Amino acid sequence: GGMAAAVLLLLLLATAPGPGRADAGQERRDTLREELLLSPLPTGDVAATFQFRTRWDADLQRGSVSHYRLFPKALGRLVAALGVRELHLALTQGFWRTRYWGQPPLQAPAGAELWVWFQPTVTDVDKAWKELSNILSGIFCASLNFIDSTNTVIPTASFKPLGLANGTDHHLLRYAVLPREVVCTENLTPWKKLLPCGSKAGLAVLLKAERLFHSSYHSQAVHIRPVCRDASCLVVSWELRQTLTVVFDFFSSGQGKKDWSLFKMFSRTLTDTCPLASQSKVYVDISPKNKEKELLEVSPHPTSVHEAVVQGDKKTYAVYDLLSPSLFNTSRSLNVQLKWKRPQDSSEMPVPTLHAQRYVGGYGLQTGEICTLIYNTHPYRAFPVILLETVPWYLRLYVHTLTIITKGKENKPSYIHYQPAQDRRRPHLLEMLIQLPANSVTKITIQFERALLKWTEYPPDPNHGFYVGSSVLSALVPSVTAMKDMDVEQSPLFTSLFPSSDGSSYFVRLYTEPLLVNLPTPDFSMPYNVICLTCTVVAVCYGSFYNLLTRTFHVEEPSRGGLAKRLANVIRKFRGVPPL
Amino acid sequence: QVQLVVPMAVVFGPGSVPRDLPRPLPFRDVQEMEISVNLRSSVTSRYEMRYRSTTGQEEAALAAATAREADAALYPLQDTTLGSLTMYVVPETSSLLPQGINVYVGKHRSALVRAVGSLAALQARLREVAQVMSFTAGSIAAALSDRVPDGRLSPDARRNLKSSLGYEITFSLLNPDPKSHTVDWDIEGAVNRYVKPVLDKLSLVANFSVDSQILYYAVLGVTPRYDKESSSFLLSAHSLPHVINPVEARLGSSAASLYPVLNFLLYVPERSHSPLYIQDKDGAPVSTNAFHSPRWGGIMVYNVEAPASPQASLPLHVDVDVARVMEVFLAQLRLLFGLSREEVPPEFLLECPGNEGLADWELDHLLWAHTVENIATVSTTLTSLAQLLDKIGNIVIKDDVASEVYRAVASVQSAVTKLSLGHLHAAFQASKEAVTSSERAFFDPSLLHLLYFPDDQKFAIYIPLFLPMAVPILLSLAKIVRETRLRKKEPTKMD
């Protein structure tokens, strides 16, 4: 029976590409869908999340000749050449303030983050990882080439494949964060170039660098993963998601008003659609808060209104379908506007169920302490969270000082994985599974000692401090509202990348603040100062010696003397002393 | 000193033996020719000829009706090693060659040559054929173009691609106006049908990888001029250099490999700019509507026929005629590899290579040029490495770098020996190895000259010492000068 089934499966696999190739002319083998989610944040800021999703019904791993249409060639070749199964790259400027802004659709740590799952066929994963980071650094103009063994870790539990995978051997995973990376226009341009329509048409027209980087938070990401082609999941398709999240601060710049429009945010409006996109939608989050309805008003009238449960919250979205012909009939361009009917009291802000905070404690330049506070604000449900901490080797962690305290009592982690650092070779990796009781704050502290670096190891401007990358919290957060089985494709951002497990909880990955730690820094001008000083002393000695040796001495005849001498003689005469 | 030896068999058919042969057949003869590259270096070519008369089988083969049939029948009887040539001399009145044609070059490594009266005249003709089939002074000069003084190089010589271990061929379809045109091309089928056979043949020379992409909203850098007479748009020849740059930014670099990229672009002009034609220098439209850029690739403009009814719904569906496109691209590919068939005397008839796109002797032509170029590259690389070492005394040469240098030298020496023995294939392989080793040595990260502290900076650090020490010395020097000047003046005062 099993044999027959296997044969049947093989047959199916063998015949499946056949019809696909035959009708390639009519049926597009790759699709592009783009969407923009605009959500007002509790603080009055506005978050705009773009997502461009390219799906390609082809197997990137096979075939020597490759022909690309919508999928960018540069990334496709990379995946095929280096045996990449999944690739997640995020470049972020600023920090998503979960406490005030709520749960992000997709958060990323400040700086650059890269994590990659390789195919089991890759024999030397470290070499492929090094090569991959170098090539990506070239494609995205980012300093990803600084990824090496000192900042790469192999997490065992925090990062699971998000796409199709038939094995989770974590030796095929690599994870690295560069918190010092600064994201700017030169990273945005290559990112935009990967879009089939570039920035010429569709939603990408709004992506103008001068507005995007004039914001509180900017994060751009690329996610590549294999997905099921259809429900039966016998064949693989490849999916590329390009996401870009930006948070505009209107409350402070807009004279206290929270009203916004597309033009105010991006200094552009939407005029036409990308002809290659099979879906192009703008979602506006108009969820009523505190049960009060009709607080805000969107114009023009949306094409439809969509209700969904996203991250445990009931949300209402106004949807503008750019592909529907009625939208551009009345006016030539679309400028979504939102107005608040009544000034809102911002005193009560909803607090997300899970959020965290991290800081460096201690004083002096010898020892210190990393403190992480994790908040569970759910009124009655406890849930576990996986914490991943990566600390560079020059902060020497003392694991015996690790304390986890919840509600005044010690909290024992149910799983702990610690990999100590090796000087100049690999960082500390600490992964823990911690149970968070309902309505609690958990404080995790660990002490460290600061190492002395060699003088060549200091970066430029060492007094600025050394960054420690964000720690990562992954959790299945219990939902307040029960989730229904709904059509995921209809929801904005397709309810993000993460798989939703069941109705009662949803997956959240949070990043804490990166830390800035001062290390004992020598005075780098000291050697030069010493050289200067000794040289001056030597030169002065040399000068006087030289003078002594070269000067000619001759006896001077006494003269009538100068003014001083005559003055002295006058005084002497008064005193009755013989003159000089 | 590089010597290129071409083993050559000259086979006389019945009734074609010249009367003034110095010796009875078979005998051997050598002809040398010097190709000077620049003042200091030159390349010697040496044709080792073996004269003999036909065997019975060859005689039967030569009795075929047409030259093509004779060529096919003679192929199994020949020496098929790379670089060797076989010339069959047929009688002056032979009907194998058409009227006015004296030389027929076959698909493989042989040629049929019409006999002329004297041996000297025959030898001159044979030399001409041998040059077409192996290398000419021009092709060697093009291969050594870095060393040839600027003025002496023909403009075409800089067109050829540099020798490399591999090439990447990218076909890009540019659709600047996806709103009006949805363009489809069966590139996969076209590559398999037209490009693959050529590259399979060329795989001896280098590794090739082929891919394709479609780029939307990619526009040329020049706005074409509207011509009222023909109601079409024109791109003049002098504006073509400006076309490529904006497109190139979109092409995407080959991040995953270090091989040079050959770009072939098919441009479907926007609706508002079609039809679009390329004009040559004299203002006449180019028949292929394509042009190539030296060492970069080629661009072809593919006009979409206007729909019969003006109110046809947009976007217009366009299926590209890949056969027409590939014909142009393959011709450009040949040009870029220096395999142009245009420079052949009119009395020559070259057999069409057929589906393979490349005759055996053309492959040899490429191998000769690439071998010579590789040897030159290695010697340049090693020379600049030596210059670097001379400049920075305290540079550290690691053992693996040293062994790569030794290997490069050994391989390049073996390549030169193999060339002088007439073993083209072995020589090419050795030269490839030499290039790999020498590049690996030269680009070793430990040889970055910025890693070493330059001497002028060492001097700058000790400026605080040198400057105060120089002050008393300079002062006393000034004093000496002043005193000597005074002393010179004093005698005049005494007068």
Q: H/E/C letters for each residue in chain B?
A: CEEEEEEEEEEECCCCCCCCCCCCCCEEEEEEEEEECCCCCEEEEEEEEEEEECCHHHHHHHCCCCHHHHHHHHHHHCCCCCCCEEEEEECCCCCCCCCCCCEEECCCCEEEEECCCCHHHHHHHHHHHHHHHCCCHHHHHHHCCCCCCHHHCCHHHHHCCCCCCEEEEEEEEEECCCCCEEEECCHHHHHHHHHHHHHHHHCCCCEEEEEEEEEECCCCCCCCEEECCCCEEEECHHHHHHCHHHHHHHHCCCCCCCCCEEEEEEECCCHHHCCEEEECCCCCECCCCEEEECCCEEEEECCCCCCCCCCCCCCEEEECCHHHHHHHHHHHHHHHCCCCCCCCCCCEEECCCHHHCCCHHHHHHHHHHHHHHHHHHHHHHHHHHHHHHHHCCCCCCCHHHHHHHHHHHHHHHHHHHHHHHCCHHHHHHHHHHHHHHHHHHHCCHHHCHHHCCCHHHHHHHCHHHHHHHHHHHHHHHHHHHHHHHHHHHHHHHHC
CB-based contacts of A445: which residues, under 8 Å, 6+ apart?
A361, A369, A370, A371, A372, A401, A402, A403
Q: What is the CATH number of the domain that holds B213?
A: 3.40.390
pLDDT confidence band for A483 (50 / 70 / 90): low
Tens of pLDDT, residue by residue over B310-342, are 666 778 888 899 999 999 999 999 888 888 777
Tens of pLDDT, residue by residue over B79-115, are 778 888 999 998 888 888 888 888 898 888 889 988 8
Are A543 and B187 inside 8 Å of each other by CB? no
Residue B170: predicted pLDDT: 92
Residue A191: predicted pLDDT: 94
- Residue B428's domain comprises 360-451
CB-based contacts of B297: which residues, under 8 Å, 6+ apart?
B170, B261, B262, B263, B264, B265, B332, B336
Q: What is the CATH number of the domain that holds B426?
A: 1.20.1270
**CB atoms < 10 A from the CB of B40, how many?**
7
A537 touches chain B (CB under 8 A): no
Share of chain B above pLDDT 70, in %: 95
In a domain, B159, yes or no: no
**Which pTM does this prediction carry?**
0.85
- Name chain B contacts of A73, Cβ cutoff 8 Å: 170, 211, 213, 252
Tens of pLDDT, residue by residue over B216-270, are 998 888 888 898 888 889 988 888 888 888 888 888 766 667 888 999 999 999 8
In a domain, B153, yes or no: no
Question: Chain-wide mean pLDDT for chain B?
Answer: 86
Question: Chain-wide mean pLDDT for chain A?
Answer: 83
A564/A11: higher pLDDT:
A564
Domain range annotation of chain A = 31-340, 354-486+497-517
Q: Is a pLDDT exceeding 90 seen at residue A162?
A: no
Which of A90-94, A233-237, A479-483, B396-400 ranks highest by mean pLDDT? A90-94
Tens of pLDDT, residue by residue over B379-394, are 999 999 999 888 877 7
Mean pLDDT of B282-303: 89
Please state, in angstroms and rounded to a whole number, the distance separating the CA atoms of residues B175 and B182. Answer: 8
Mean pLDDT of B368-379: 92
B217 and B173 share one domain: yes
Mean pLDDT of A553-569: 75
In a domain, B332, yes or no: yes
In a domain, B112, yes or no: yes
Q: Is a pLDDT exceeding 60 seen at residue A23?
A: no
B364 and B432 share one domain: yes
Tens of pLDDT, residue by residue over B183-205, are 999 998 999 999 999 999 899 88
Q: Is a pLDDT exceeding 70 seen at residue A570?
A: yes
Are B465 and A66 inside 8 Å of each other by CB? no
What torsion do the CA atoms of B9, B13, B16, B17 make, to the nearest 10 degrees? 60
- What is the CATH number assigned to the segment(s) A354-486+497-517? 2.60.40.740
Q: Is a pLDDT exceeding 50 seen at residue A449?
A: yes
Residue A351: predicted pLDDT: 84
Could you tell me whether strands A277-285 and A313-321 are parallel, antiparallel, or unpaired per DSSP bridges?
A: antiparallel
The minimum CA-CA distance between B180 and chain A, rounded to whole Å, is 9
Please state, in angstroms and rounded to a whole number, the distance separating the CA atoms of residues B140 and A337. Answer: 70
Task: Give first-to-last CA distance, chain B, whole Å.
Answer: 77
Report the Cα A148 to chain-centroid distance in Å. Answer: 18
Mean pLDDT of A157-164: 86
Could you tell me whether strands B207-216 and B232-235 are parallel, antiparallel, or unpaired per DSSP bridges?
A: unpaired
Q: Is a pLDDT exceeding 70 seen at residue A293?
A: no
Q: Is a pLDDT exceeding 70 seen at residue B21?
A: yes
- Name chain B contacts of A532, Cβ cutoff 8 Å: 464
Tens of pLDDT, residue by residue over B416-467, are 999 999 899 999 999 999 999 999 999 888 887 666 777 777 788 788 788 8
Q: Is a pLDDT exceeding 70 seen at residue A490?
A: no
- Name chain A contacts of B460, Cβ cutoff 8 Å: none
CB B187 within 8 A of CB B195: no
B433 and B461 share one domain: no
Closest CA to A335 of A269, A404, A287: A269
User: Which residue is it, tokens 């693989």?
Assistant: A236
In a domain, B333, yes or no: yes
A128/B357: higher pLDDT:
A128
Closest residue in chain A to residue B176, using alpha carbons only: A197
Mean pLDDT of A526-534: 86
pLDDT confidence band for A346 (50 / 70 / 90): low
Are A74 and B191 inside 8 Å of each other by CB? no
Look up the ipTM and state it.
0.83
How many separate domains does chain B show? Answer: 4
pLDDT confidence band for A230 (50 / 70 / 90): confident
Q: Is a pLDDT exceeding 70 seen at residue A256?
A: no
B73 and B42 share one domain: yes
Closest CA to A164 of A64, A313, A60: A60
How many alpha carbons fall within 13 Å on the CB side of residue A87?
23
- Name chain B contacts of A272, Cβ cutoff 8 Å: 179
Which 3 state secondary structure label does DSSP give A219?
A: strand
Are B256 and A538 inside 8 Å of each other by CB? no
B79 and B101 share one domain: yes
Residue B305: predicted pLDDT: 80
Closest CA to A176 of A205, A198, A200, A144: A144
Tens of pLDDT, residue by residue over B130-148, are 888 888 888 888 888 777 7
pLDDT confidence band for A8 (50 / 70 / 90): very low
- The two structure tokens encoding residue A274: 């990308």
Which of A276-285, A441-450, B308-317 ranks highest by mean pLDDT? A441-450
Which among B350, B377, B397 is the end of a domain?
Answer: B350
